[in-house]
Amino acid sequence: MLTLECPYCGVMADETELSPGYEAHLKRFGPGASPEEFEAYMFARKNPKGVHFERWRHTYGCGKWFLAARCTATLEVFGTYPAQVSAPPADIIAKIQARRPNWQPDWQPDGKAPE
Amino acid sequence: MSDPVSALGGARFTGFADIREIGPVGMITLRGKGLKAFDKAIKTAVGTKVPAQRRIEVAGDKACGWMSPDEYLLVMPYAEVPKALAAIALALAGQHHLAVDVSDARAVFRVEGEKAADVLRKLAPADLDLMAPGELRRTRAAQVAVAFWQQDGGFTVVCFRSVAGYVMGLLRHSAMQGSELA
Amino acid sequence: MSTRLAKGGRLIDRTAAVEFTFNGKRLRGYQGDTLASALLANDQMLVGRSFKYHRPRGIVASGPEEPNALVNLGSGARLEPNQRTTVTELFDGLESTSQNHWPSLEFDVGVLNNYAARFLPSGFYYKTFIHPRPFWKHVFEPIIRRSAGLGKAPTTGDADRYEQAYAFCDVLIVGGGVAGLMAARAAAKGGGRVILLEQSPQLGGRSPVDETEVEGKPVEAWLDAVEAGLRAMDNVTIRTRTTGAGVYDHGYVLADERVADHTPGDGRPKHRLWRIRAGRIITATGAIERPLSFAGNDIPGVMLAGAVRDFVAGYAVSPGDRTVVVTNNDSAYLTALALKAAGLDVPAVLDARDDATGALPETARAAGIRVLTGRAIAKVKGGKRVTGVAICAQAGEGAVLEEIDCDAVAMSGGWSPVVHLYSHCGGKLLWDEAISAFVPDPSRPPLNHDGSAMVEVVGAAAGHLDLGSILAADVSAGVETKGRRKEDARKTVSTSVTIPPIWVMPQGAPIAMRSKMWLDYQNDVKVSDVQLAAREGYQSVEHTKRYTTLGMATDQGKLSNINGLAVLADALGQEIPQVGTTTFRPPYTPVTIGALAGESRGEIFQPLRRTPMHESHEKSGAYFEPVGLWRRPYCFPRAGETHEQAVHREVLNTRSNLGLLDASTLGKIIVKGPDAGKFLDMLYTGVMSTLPVGKCRYGLMCNEQGFLSDDGVVARIDEDTWLCHTTSGGADRIHAWMEDWLQCEWWDWQVYTANVTEQYAQVAVVGPNARKLLQVLGGMDVSRESLPFMQWADGTLGGFPVRVYRISFSGELSYEIAIPASRGAAFWAACMEAGKALGAMPYGTEALHVMRAEKGFIMIGDETDGTVIPQDLGLDWAISKKKTDYLGKRGQERSYLASTDRWKLAGFETLDGSVIPDGSYIVADGTNGNGQRNTQGRVTSTYYSPTLRRGIAMGLLRHGPTRMGEVVEFNTVSGGTVKARVRDAVFFDKDGEKQNV
Ligand SMILES: [Zn+2]
């Protein structure tokens, strides 16, 4: 059972205070999107063994959504951060790379996924 | 017209701690962030300053608690809610905010006694040792959401009205004589 | 015989006698005894039968690893099966009965299985399942069912209560032996919060029995001093009788405290399950002694050597008068010396090693004990009790050299460090050749949230099997600080103890011997069974475990899993580390379901949500149904009425007079801000931004796939405030959905929401007399002109502050009235009183459902199931064609959702007037690939309409709206079909004349 620090409350929240929201930083595709884009938005989810970005809601606390960078294999948490960003902030990236030197972001600075 | 009644009509239990349902208590949910007149709105409504993160400012029978970065819980005598809402509306006129009476949506309990904290230690995954005086903790009690803080030598526990009976049952079970954690 | 010694017994109080029963026999023990020690003191060595062969079983161990001595404890509402006598503290009036035998412990029919052992080899169940099938059903299964199972499940509710508690600490130490105490002492100095857990009632672990001095002080004095020092510190909590049961992610530990097992009925909770969150976990869980595998090693009287000396030293109980010690290591000599010191006979120590020259063997020799090296047991003699042993050379094939009479055998096959807690969350193990055991690999520990080691292991659990190496390892190094210890703080120490890899005795034992060597005492798995599994091709230890059931008994292999692995490795021609271990899973020892359930029993099993009028409904005799966690009146039956009759009466009365519905559970969410209109236009398929202040509009919400998720009426409160009604079950979900989009996608939009569902009680006043009722109550103007359909107004009624919504879910003239919840009950009572002369009756959810179906109104969860889009239900009118976007719009454009071939909503009337069964499909011609009838639709709502006096239904039918008048067939439960005519889904008052008055 995880503990994640809610970046809004500052409490180390027990997993039972939280609700999971699955993969973070999805870009919404609405009307006008191609079938491929829409399919990816709806169904294509990463399932890495390693560094992963997730959405969590502090349901029994402040009620806010936040994002977490953690390792799905070791359960190490690299950091949590507010949800109002389209890509992980630089300090989170730095924390991940300090512990996983070979890890590289798989998106580009504009928030788009690489080709 | 009838008087407002609390969810459990003032239920009580005495174990190793004393449990009392109190209320009705006046409560306002105030949402807003970074507003100019926020200090003034809260000051006129409940007479306290704006609480910092996870804090509750108490002034007599009124209080203001930090619920989230853009939400505050204002506590006051039940009858004073309309006046407080009017004061907030006046102070924050024209600024984006939401103030709404939630007095009737809540049930409020007092848990008192030397070992009152033990009652909550059985129900909430919160580190009570690290809870500073004047801290408001939102968490869960067993299966429902609660908020509590220390006040007047005990704890004030707030939950939703519909689950007041459940929360009273939890508190009663946890305060049973002989089940102190010591 | 086993008996109480005249002197000694560190743990018992001879001045406090205690009476108890075993199989109805009244016996005496002392305060401080375990049930096991008290049984032995009464010469009750035979305590149970094994699971498969019903072999006689005696006490083997002295701790939680005990596989044999399990009993039913207590009776009636305090009956607990499978309680280990070795950890059951004796109390006055304790009742115990043995398990797994029929008709009696002494004479058991199931022992016939023993003679049929060659028909019950490993994998017996799997093999028998396959063939011959009839044989299984008629012969084996009845026999096995009769004889299977250990204790009896209680038949009444548990009289005790249980609870849980949360605790937080910087350092958690599991195990209160010398290593654990030293770690606690060091950790406490740092000032952080320290919790020390010890499973038994006393601290000290094995040290009072096995050691004389610690740090230059006599053991007992050292223990007393350290314990007193710890108890004097504010930052230290010691919990005895508390087992660290499981280690989970991020320092989360479950621990089971047996608060009142030994004082039943004293009012305290029986168990308390601790949920501990620790910064660091140090396990000092010791080691468990292993049996040796020799023929007849399961006969009562064969015990672990450590247990024998525990009983002698702790409880002044001698398991036998003449005890042969058999060992592959030095520690068992302690037992020989202890027995000798207690004045008992030790005819010989059989040491499988060729030399035994350590300090302990030499001391034993000096004490006049006969030590035979290179020797093994060829056979234990006896049936329900050891009568002697036959001795052979360890190196040979079992030729008997000598026979010795004895009534007990103390065996030691070495020690297995308790690595369970270290392994629960992924800690890896190393094979330590010196002690022939798996030990924690400190370089591959389970990790904490910050990537540091979450669990460290000290003492015997780390493989330091002697006090010298525990002290030399200096467990205090680096423990003091509140922060993390330095990685290099711990010294690498190897224990001076060596344990050779001797697993089977004698080394060349033939099959006849190997089939009498027990590995798993409870499940009857023998050396020969594991070897058979290997021959049959089982190579993975996990598969072998399941095939042979080795380690699957209630002790979970604590005693002899390593012995089994060693036998498997040998049979496979592999090294033990290659074969590996089975997975260690929590809990370490069994945790009773009561503790896991904690407070969640009876009234507070789950939170029941009650409306402000709940008590009043109870008094009216309402029959409740669950709606999510809410309890809502389904109907209000009167004396002599069935529920069905009550529902019909409620419907007819509402349609002809006046009905009152408690609608408080309806979700109510305030949405406010400059961007609230824009936000609601994204959320709903229709347009809400244009709704005039004071008016109401019905809206639909879809998920991003386009499927319907919720519906309700939206009211515009003021220029920038809307109130959204949701379904009863949907308030929290929809509020969370709104916040998700506002926080994570459109965070720059200026919108605030508040879920005010519980702030208001809501009463639906429904029927031709609805307006009259409000006029009787008096107050605001509710006339057709002032408050037309689909508008709302604030005011007072009967002195209550109210908000009245003129909306209808029944097709009748209807007002939904919101009042503050604290006045809900009073307002309901006022309505009932004022409505007396108008024929007012309360109605429940079923009448609500019937009336909405008569009107063809959809219900989320009935007409929708997560695969239905609004267009399927003919709700195109509620979908804006002008909007460029709303949640679900792109999803609905997908080709298969836009297809004209979809099943669409229609109404159905059976030709014979009957009610179509719930869940019916509309059959089509032909069959599918599985030989099932093809389908072309299904029923979604089906009721008897008391208004129309016939069955009515709504359903989805391919091309439904274009097939009016056609007759289709619904399948029925009995296998036939029922014919129904397709029609418009609005069955009653199609033009809405009744609600627009
Ligand atoms: Zn939070």
Token pair belonging to C358: 């350590």
Q: Report the pLDDT value the prediction gives residue C149, as an integer from 0 to 100.
A: 56
Domain annotation covers residue B179: no
The pLDDT of B159-177, averaged and rounded, is 98
CA distances from C20 to C24, C92, C93, C96, C978 (A): 9, 6, 5, 8, 68
Token pair belonging to C115: 């003679």
Closest in B106, B122, B166 to C608, CB measured: B166
Q: Report the pLDDT value the prediction gives residue C125, as an integer from 0 to 100.
A: 58
Q: Is A19 near chain B, with CB under 8 Å?
A: no
Alpha-carbon distance A115 to nearest alpha carbon in chain C (angstroms): 24
Asked which of C46-50, C150-154, C270-274, C477-481 is least confident by mean pLDDT, the reply is C477-481
| Gap between the Cα atoms of C898 and C869, Å rounded | 10
Which of C343, C339, C337, C328 minimizes the C-alpha distance to C365? C337
Domain annotation covers residue B141: yes
Q: Report the pLDDT value the prediction gives residue C132, as an integer from 0 to 100.
A: 59
Q: Report the pLDDT value the prediction gives residue A4, as an integer from 0 to 100.
A: 97
Domain annotation covers residue C82: yes
Answer yes or no: do C908 and C984 share one domain: yes
The pLDDT of B144-165, averaged and rounded, is 97
Sign of CA dihedral C537, C540, C546, C552: positive
Q: Calculate how far, in angstroms, residue A66's C-alpha sits from the geometric centre of ligand 1.
A: 8
Cα angle C22-C23-C24, degrees, rounded to a multiple of 5: 90
For C426, nearest residue in chain A (alpha carbons) = A74
For B99, nearest residue in chain C (alpha carbons) = C754
* CATH classification at residue C582: 1.10.10
Which of C456, C458, C475, C459 minimizes the C-alpha distance to C467? C459
Q: Report the pLDDT value the prediction gives residue C117, as an integer from 0 to 100.
A: 60
Contact at CB, C599 and B173, closer than 8 angstroms: yes
**B97 contact residues in C (CB cutoff 8 A):** 752
Q: Is C832 near chain B, with CB under 8 Å?
A: no
| In the predicted structure, residue C642 carries a pLDDT above the cut 80 | yes
What 3-state class would DSSP assign to C145? Answer: helix
**A60 contact residues in B (CB cutoff 8 A):** 138-140, 145
Per residue in C205-214, pLDDT (tens digit) is: 999 999 999 9
Contact at CB, A21 and C740, closer than 8 angstroms: yes
Q: Is A10 near chain B, with CB under 8 Å?
A: yes
For B29, nearest residue in chain C (alpha carbons) = C754
| Gap between the Cα atoms of C826 and B3, Å rounded | 9
Q: Is A42 near chain C, with CB under 8 Å?
A: yes
Contact at CB, B100 and C756, closer than 8 angstroms: yes
Residue to mutate among A65, A67, A80, A100, with most C CBs inside 10 A, is A65
**C889 contact residues in A (CB cutoff 8 A):** 30-31
* Phi and psi torsions of C230, nearest 5°: -70, -40
**A14 contact residues in B (CB cutoff 8 A):** 125
| Gap between the Cα atoms of C186 and C164, Å rounded | 29
Domain annotation covers residue C783: no
| In the predicted structure, residue C713 carries a pLDDT above the cut 90 | yes
Residue partners of C174: CB distance under 8 A and separation at least 6: C180, C197, C244, C253, C255, C281, C282, C283, C284, C285, C421
Alpha-carbon distance B7 to nearest alpha carbon in chain C (angstroms): 7
Contact at CB, A1 and C744, closer than 8 angstroms: no
Q: Which contiguous run of DSSP H or E holds residue C744? A: helix C731-744
Cα C774 from chain centroid (whole Å): 52
A48, A72 Cβ separation under 8 angstroms:
yes
Q: Report the pLDDT value the prediction gives residue B116, as an integer from 0 to 100.
A: 97
Q: Report the pLDDT value the prediction gives residue C487, as an integer from 0 to 100.
A: 45
Alpha-carbon distance C741 to nearest alpha carbon in chain A (angstroms): 10
Q: Report the pLDDT value the prediction gives residue C555, as an integer from 0 to 100.
A: 86
Per residue in C743-788, pLDDT (tens digit) is: 999 999 999 999 999 999 999 999 999 999 999 999 999 999 999 9
Domain annotation covers residue C234: yes
Q: Compute chain A's Rg from CA coordinates.
A: 15
For B23, nearest residue in chain C (alpha carbons) = C822
C446, C253 Cβ separation under 8 angstroms:
no
Q: What phi-psi label fits residue C475: left (phi over 0), alpha (psi between -120 and 50 degrees) or beta?
A: alpha
Answer yes or no: do C404 and C449 share one domain: no
Contact at CB, B178 and C267, closer than 8 angstroms: yes
| In the predicted structure, residue C184 carries a pLDDT above the cut 90 | yes
For C247, nearest residue in chain A (alpha carbons) = A1
Domain annotation covers residue C549: yes
Alpha helices (runs of H) in C606-730, residue ranges in sequence order = 614-619, 643-656, 676-683
Label residue A40 exposed, middle or buried (CB < 10 Å: 0-12, 13-18, 19+): middle
Answer yes or no: do C904 and C991 share one domain: yes
Mean pLDDT of chain A: 92
Complex ipTM: 0.98
C415, C328 Cβ separation under 8 angstroms:
no
| In the predicted structure, residue C239 carries a pLDDT above the cut 50 | yes
Residue with tokens 């929240």: A13
**A63 contact residues in B (CB cutoff 8 A):** 68, 71
* Phi and psi torsions of C890, nearest 5°: -65, -40
Residue to mutate among B138, B157, B160, with most A CBs inside 10 A, is B138
Percent of chain C with pLDDT strictly greater than 90: 85
Which of C865, C842, C953 minimizes the C-alpha distance to C907? C953
Closest in C599, C607, C800 to B163, CB measured: C607
| In the predicted structure, residue C489 carries a pLDDT above the cut 60 | no
* CATH classification at residue B70: 3.30.1360.120
Separation of first and last alpha carbons in chain C: 96
| In the predicted structure, residue A109 carries a pLDDT above the cut 70 | no
| In the predicted structure, residue B1 carries a pLDDT above the cut 70 | no
Domain annotation covers residue C455: yes
Looking at residue C812, its amino acid is E
Cα angle C334-C339-C345, degrees, rounded to a multiple of 5: 130
* CATH classification at residue C952: 2.40.30.110
The pLDDT of C9-14, averaged and rounded, is 96
**A61 contact residues in B (CB cutoff 8 A):** 138-139
The pLDDT of C847-854, averaged and rounded, is 98
Please, which pLDDT band fits residue A106 given cuts at 50, 70 and 90?
confident
Q: Report the pLDDT value the prediction gives residue B21, as an integer from 0 to 100.
A: 98
Q: Report the pLDDT value the prediction gives residue C51, as an integer from 0 to 100.
A: 75
| Gap between the Cα atoms of C904 and C938, Å rounded | 10
Q: Calculate how far, in angstroms, residue C571's C-alpha sits from the geometric centre of ligand 1.
A: 57
Domain annotation covers residue C283: yes
**A8 contact residues in B (CB cutoff 8 A):** 68-69
Q: Report the pLDDT value the prediction gives residue B2, as an integer from 0 to 100.
A: 75
Closest in C672, C752, C822 to B5, CB measured: C822
Answer yes or no: do C19 and C89 share one domain: yes
Token pair belonging to C699: 């809206």
Per residue in C415-471, pLDDT (tens digit) is: 999 999 999 999 999 999 999 999 999 999 999 999 999 999 999 999 999 998 888
What 3-state class would DSSP assign to C58? Answer: strand
How many residues in chain C?
Answer: 997
Domain annotation covers residue A17: yes
Per residue in C643-674, pLDDT (tens digit) is: 999 999 999 999 999 999 999 999 999 999 99
* CATH classification at residue C253: 3.50.50.60
Which of C336, C339, C335, C346 minimizes the C-alpha distance to C318? C339
Domain annotation covers residue B5: no
Q: Report the pLDDT value the prediction gives residue C475, as an integer from 0 to 100.
A: 73
Q: Report the pLDDT value the prediction gives residue C146, as an integer from 0 to 100.
A: 54
Q: Report the pLDDT value the prediction gives residue C975, as an integer from 0 to 100.
A: 87
Domain extent, residue B18, equals 12-174
Per residue in A25-78, pLDDT (tens digit) is: 999 999 999 999 999 999 999 999 999 999 999 999 999 999 999 999 999 999
Cis amide bond preceding A82, omega within 30: no
Domain annotation covers residue B162: yes
What 3-state class would DSSP assign to A84? Answer: coil
Total tally of structural domains belonging to chain C: 5
For A6, nearest residue in chain B (alpha carbons) = B68
Per residue in C602-641, pLDDT (tens digit) is: 999 999 999 999 999 999 999 999 999 999 999 999 999 9
Per residue in B5-37, pLDDT (tens digit) is: 999 999 999 999 999 999 899 999 999 999 989
Question: Which of C601, C619, C641 represents a domain boundary (last residue)?
Answer: C601
Q: Calculate how far, in angstroms, residue B69's C-alpha sits from the geometric centre of ligand 1.
A: 9
Q: Is A22 near chain B, with CB under 8 Å?
A: no
Domain annotation covers residue B26: yes
Please, which pLDDT band fits residue C120 given cuts at 50, 70 and 90?
low
| In the predicted structure, residue C400 carries a pLDDT above the cut 90 | yes
What 3-state class would DSSP assign to C901? Answer: coil
Answer yes or no: do C7 and C104 share one domain: yes
Which of residues C121 and C31 earns the better pLDDT score? C31
| Gap between the Cα atoms of C767 and C666, Å rounded | 20
Q: Calculate how far, in angstroms, residue C556's C-alpha sits from the geometric centre of ligand 1.
A: 41
Domain annotation covers residue B31: yes
pTM, two decimal places: 0.95
CA distances from A17 to B129, B149, C212, C303, C607 (A): 18, 17, 50, 48, 16
Q: Is A29 near chain B, with CB under 8 Å?
A: no
Answer yes or no: do C525 and C551 share one domain: yes
Per residue in C899-931, pLDDT (tens digit) is: 999 999 999 999 999 999 999 999 999 999 999
Q: Report the pLDDT value the prediction gives residue C317, as an integer from 0 to 100.
A: 97
Please, which pLDDT band fits residue C144 given cuts at 50, 70 and 90?
low
Domain annotation covers residue C432: yes
| In the predicted structure, residue B114 carries a pLDDT above the cut 80 | yes
The pLDDT of B94-123, averaged and rounded, is 98
Q: Is A50 near chain C, with CB under 8 Å?
A: no
Cα angle C764-C808-C658, degrees, rounded to a multiple of 5: 50
Mean pLDDT of chain C: 93
CA dihedral C456, C458, C463, C466 (to 10 degrees): 170
| In the predicted structure, residue C143 carries a pLDDT above the cut 70 | no
The pLDDT of C315-341, averaged and rounded, is 97
| In the predicted structure, residue C91 carries a pLDDT above the cut 60 | yes
The pLDDT of B44-69, averaged and rounded, is 97
**B16 contact residues in C (CB cutoff 8 A):** none
The pLDDT of C328-347, averaged and rounded, is 97
Domain annotation covers residue B150: yes
The HSE-up count of residue C878 (CA atoms within 13 Å, CB side) is 23
For residue B44, count other CB atoms closer than 10 A to its CB.
16
| Gap between the Cα atoms of C235 and C714, Å rounded | 56
Answer yes or no: do C69 and C170 share one domain: no
Q: Calculate how far, in angstroms, residue A6's C-alpha sits from the geometric centre of ligand 1.
A: 5
Total tally of structural domains belonging to chain B: 1
Cis amide bond preceding A109, omega within 30: no
Contact at CB, A60 and B71, closer than 8 angstroms: no
Residue to mutate among B96, B174, B176, with most C CBs inside 10 A, is B96
Q: Calculate how far, in angstroms, residue A9's C-alpha sits from the geometric centre of ligand 1.
A: 4
Q: Report the pLDDT value the prediction gives residue C483, as an integer from 0 to 100.
A: 46
For residue C896, count other CB atoms closer than 10 A to its CB.
7
Alpha-carbon distance C801 to nearest alpha carbon in chain B (angstroms): 9
Please, which pLDDT band fits residue C153 given cuts at 50, 70 and 90?
confident
Per residue in C859-870, pLDDT (tens digit) is: 999 999 999 999
Domain extent, residue C387, equals 317-367+378-411
Q: Calculate how far, in angstroms, residue A74's C-alpha sits from the geometric centre of ligand 1.
A: 24
Domain extent, residue A16, equals 3-26+45-99
Alpha-carbon distance C82 to nearest alpha carbon in chain B (angstroms): 26
Which of C596, C604, C601 minimizes the C-alpha distance to C274? C596
Token pair belonging to C579: 């074969």
Domain annotation covers residue B149: yes
* Phi and psi torsions of C908, nearest 5°: -140, 140
What 3-state class would DSSP assign to C336? Answer: helix
B44, B91 Cβ separation under 8 angstroms:
yes
Answer yes or no: do C263 and C347 share one domain: no
Residue partners of C88: CB distance under 8 A and separation at least 6: C34, C35, C36, C71, C73, C94, C96, C261
Q: Report the pLDDT value the prediction gives residue C105, as an integer from 0 to 100.
A: 73
For B96, nearest residue in chain C (alpha carbons) = C673
A77, C449 Cβ separation under 8 angstroms:
yes
> Roughly what angle, to the nearest 10 degrees, separates helices C561-572 and C541-548?
110
| Gap between the Cα atoms of C680 and C699, Å rounded | 10
Token pair belonging to C351: 């040491």
Total tally of structural domains belonging to chain A: 1
* CATH classification at residue A68: 3.30.2270.10
Q: Report the pLDDT value the prediction gives residue C112, as an integer from 0 to 100.
A: 60
Q: Report the pLDDT value the prediction gives residue C145, as an integer from 0 to 100.
A: 53
Domain annotation covers residue A66: yes
Residue partners of C928: CB distance under 8 A and separation at least 6: C934
| In the predicted structure, residue A115 carries a pLDDT above the cut 50 | no
